[in-house]
Amino acid sequence: MCSYIVEKAKLLGSAKGPNGWMRIDTANVYYDHPFHSPLDHVLGIDFINEAQGGRERVALELSADSARALVDKILAALASGEAEHGKGAHPHASPARGRVAAE
Amino acid sequence: MSYESMLAETVAFTGHKGNVGEAYYARPLGPGPWPGVVLIHHMPGWDWWIKEATRTLAYHGFPTIAPHLYFREGPGSPDDVGARVRAAGGVSDEQVMGDVRGCMNFVRAQPYSNGKVGVIGFCSGGRHAYLAACTHPDFDAAVDCWGGNVIVDDKAQLNAKRPVAPIDLTENLRCPLLGLFGNDDENPNRDQVNRTEAVLKKLGKTYEFHRYDGAGHAFFNAARNAYRPEQALDGWSKVFAFFDRHLATTAAARAA
C-alpha cells in the first residue's frame, strides 16, 4: 500500500549527507514502498533539520527484520556504552514524538 | 523491416492554479493520429519504473505524459522531493486533479492527437486515476491499477487533503474503467475490490475488473520482489486492449 503515515522523532545530533555534516533535529520514520531498495516495503528513516527547512536529508531504507535488529543493536550499544561511560545528559533528553497526516 | 522510433523527454505543463511543472513525456514518432494517456505515479514518486511504464505505453502507440506531482517541493532529486511530500502528509487531491487536467490538455493539444485521452495510475496513482475519471468528464478511458483507499472504511482517514473517498464520486464516472488487482493485496483487499465493483455495477457504469491469483500489490513493478511476470504481461495486454478499444478512432485500431 501507499500511505502517508509518518512517525516523527525529535533528535539532537548530526548526520553526514552529500554536502558534509549537518545538524539534525528530526527523524521521519515510515513503513512503505521504497524508492531505491528492491524490497516491496521498507522501514524508511529520513534524518533532517526541520528547523532549517528540512530540505536536505540523510535517508535509510531497511527491511523490517533488519530495522528491528538495528533497534536491538542501538539499545545494546547504549546499554554497554552507558555502563562504560555513564549516562549523558542534555536538555533534549526526552524527545517528543508525533505522527503526521495519515491516509 | 519497418523503422521504429520514439522520443522521451522532460516537458513543461501547466497544472493546478496555472503552476508550471515538469513531466516525463514519451511518444512514438510519426504523423499519428495517436490517442494520448496521462500516467499518474505512485507515492514514492517520479521514479525509474514510472518512466519505464511511460515509455512502454508510447512503444504501444500511446503518447504518454507522466507529471511529476511533487514538482512544487523541488528543486531536488525525485526521491528527496518525495520525502518532503511524505513528511507533509502528501499532496492534495485538488492539486493532483488540477495537474492531471493540465496534462490531459497538453496531450490532447498535440498536432498528432486523435482527440482521445485516457488516464492510468498505479498504487496511490490508481486511486488518483479513479478520482480523475470521476472528476474530469473529458477523459475517454481510465485504468486503476491496484489503487488503495478508493473505499475508505475508517472515515477518520479523510482529511483536508483527501476529503472525499473516490468511491463516493462514482456516480460522476463518465468513461469506461479498467481495474487490475492482485488477490494477495492488502490495500485494496479482495473485499474492497468486490465492494467497488458492486458500486460500479449498481450504478450501471462501463467497467471491467481483472483479479490475479499469486499477485499482490504492484505486481507490474520489475524493480520489486512483488513483480509477477506472467500476471504483469497479461495485465499489460489488458491495458493495451482496453485503450485500443476506447481511445482509437479508426476501425482497424479498434479491432486490434
pLDDT tier, A98 (very low <50, low <70, confident <90, very high otherwise): low
pLDDT at residue A97 in the model: 54
Q: Over range B93-107, report the average pLDDT.
A: 98
Integer Cα distance of A90 and A78 in angstroms? 15
A21, A5 Cβ separation under 8 angstroms: no
Cell numbers for B49 = 519504473
Q: Over range B216-231, report the average pLDDT.
A: 93
pLDDT at residue B250 in the model: 54
Q: Does A96 touch chain B (CB under 8 A)?
A: no
Q: Does A21 touch chain B (CB under 8 A)?
A: no
Shortest alpha-carbon distance between residue A9 and chain B (Å): 12
Top pLDDT among B76 and B58 is at B58
* Residue (of B224, B34, B206, B198) closest to B122 by Cα position: B224
Give residue-wise pLDDT tens across range A3-31. 678 999 999 999 998 889 999 999 999 99
- Residue indicated by cell numbers 493540465: B102
CA dihedral angle for residue B167, residue B168, residue B172, residue B173, rounded to 10 degrees? 0
Give residue-wise pLDDT tens across range B3-57. 899 999 999 999 999 999 999 999 999 889 999 999 999 988 999 999 999 999 9
Integer Cα distance of A34 and A2 in angstroms? 10
Give residue-wise pLDDT tens across range B110-164. 999 999 999 999 999 999 999 999 999 999 999 999 999 999 999 998 999 999 9
pLDDT tier, B2 (very low <50, low <70, confident <90, very high otherwise): confident
* Residue (of B142, B40, B158) closest to B95 by Cα position: B40
Integer Cα distance of B72 and B68 in angstroms? 9
Domain B6-248 top-level CATH class = alpha beta
Integer Cα distance of B142 and B67 in angstroms? 16
Shortest alpha-carbon distance between residue A21 and chain B (Å): 17
B67, B102 Cβ separation under 8 angstroms: yes
pLDDT at B251 over 60: no
Q: What percent of chain A has pLDDT over 70?
A: 82
Integer Cα distance of A26 and A51 in angstroms? 9
ipTM of the complex, rounded to two decimals: 0.74
Parallel/antiparallel/unpaired status of strands A97-99 and A7-17: antiparallel
Looking at the partner chain, which of B43, B157, B159 has a beta carbon nearest the beta carbon of A33?
B43
Report the mean per-residue pLDDT for chain B.
94
Q: Over range B220-240, report the average pLDDT.
A: 95
Report the mean per-residue pLDDT for chain A.
86
How crowded is residue B169: how many other Cβ atoms within 10 Å of its Cβ? 15
Integer Cα distance of B204 and B170 in angstroms? 10
pLDDT at residue A87 in the model: 80
Cell numbers for A19 = 554536502
b/e per residue, A30-59, with b = 16+ CB within 10 A? bbbbbbebebbbbbbbbbbbeeeebebbbb
pLDDT at residue B95 in the model: 98
pLDDT tier, B1 (very low <50, low <70, confident <90, very high otherwise): low
Integer Cα distance of B36 and B139 in angstroms? 10
Choose, out of B51, B69, B80, B149, the residue to mutate when testing the contact with A (most A CBs < 10 Å). Answer: B80
